[in-house]
């Protein structure tokens, strides 16, 4: 009986990531396809998948406009107007700053660091701000500690000397932390450890 349960669980663990991945992709397809579905149906041009194509085309066109000097100034002007709208401006500003942090090379979740709590305990986090301000005392930096198995986290202020930067891509770092350390990036050290066993 234990062997049967073991085989069943093994099959479940193999299928679960595949099923969840396709479910997420399916939901993304429905969301993007539905953005322009109503408009396309009104003009009689809709068929499943056309909404996705139109959505991708619109995103690409906005990207082209943002790359153009004149249209970029216009977009910046609209951006300033949107930020001034009560409540909506606050929400927009937070979302914009968060999204921008992923696309920037100097800010956001691109610099993984080790925070030395003691000689034996270290925390993994992302260095998000090292500029002195009303929030960050002199000699301190802001480090975001992402919680494992979810996207919540805590922001802590740490003395600079207790922060050690780790040379690893943000993608690998986020995967490692989000999986609670279950996913590991193979390094030369790991390979030598395996060969030495």
Mind listing the pLDDT tens digit for each residue in 45-75?
888 888 889 888 888 888 887 777 777 788 7
Q: Does pTM surpass 0.85? A: no
- Contact present, 113 and 166 (Cβ < 8 Å): yes
The set of long-range contacts for 43-51, using a CB threshold of 8 Å and a minimum separation of 24, is none
Domains of the chain: 2-102 (no CATH), 112-188 (2.30.30)
> Looking at residue 111, what is its pLDDT?
79
Task: Name the DSSP class of 162.
Answer: G
Residue 178: partners with Cβ closer than 8 Å, 6 or more residues away: 146, 148, 149, 150, 151
Residue 73: partners with Cβ closer than 8 Å, 6 or more residues away: none
**How many CB atoms are closer than 10 A to CB 41?**
13
| Region for residue 181 given its phi and psi (left: phi exceeds 0; alpha: psi -120 to 50; beta: otherwise) | left
Give the pLDDT band (50/70/90) at residue 192.
Answer: very low
Residue 149 pLDDT more than 70? no
Residue 105 pLDDT more than 60? no
* Rounded-to-integer distance, Cα 27 and Cα 20, Å: 11
Q: Of 53-57, 67-71, 99-103, 142-146, which range is least confident?
A: 99-103
Q: Of 100-104, 110-114, 168-172, which range is least confident?
A: 100-104
Structure tokens, 10: 């093994």
> Looking at residue 68, what is its pLDDT?
76
Residue indicated by tokens 């993984």: 112
């Amino acid at each position: 009986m234990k062997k049967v349960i073991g085989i069943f669980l093994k099959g479940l663990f193999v299928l679960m990531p595949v099923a969840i991945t396709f479910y997420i992709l399916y939901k993304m397809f429905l969301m993007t396809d539905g953005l322009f579905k109503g408009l396309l149906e009104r003009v009689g041009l809709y068929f499943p998948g056309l909404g996705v194509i139109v959505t991708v085309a619109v995103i690409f066109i906005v990207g082209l406009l943002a790359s153009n000097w004149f249209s970029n100034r216009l977009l910046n002007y609209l951006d300033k107007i949107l930020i001034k709208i009560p409540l909506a401006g606050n929400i927009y500003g937070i979302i914009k700053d968060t999204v921008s942090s992923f696309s920037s090379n100097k800010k956001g979740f691109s610099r993984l660091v080790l925070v030395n709590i003691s000689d034996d305990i270290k925390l993994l986090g992302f260095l998000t701000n090292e500029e002195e301000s009303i929030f960050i005392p002199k000699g301190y930096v802001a480090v975001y500690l992402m919680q494992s198995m979810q996207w919540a986290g805590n922001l802590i202020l740490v003395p600079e000397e207790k922060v050690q930067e780790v040379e690893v891509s943000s993608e690998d770092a986020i995967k490692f932390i989000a999986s609670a350390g279950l996913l590991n990036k193979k390094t030369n050290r790991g390979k030598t450890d395996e060969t030495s066993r």
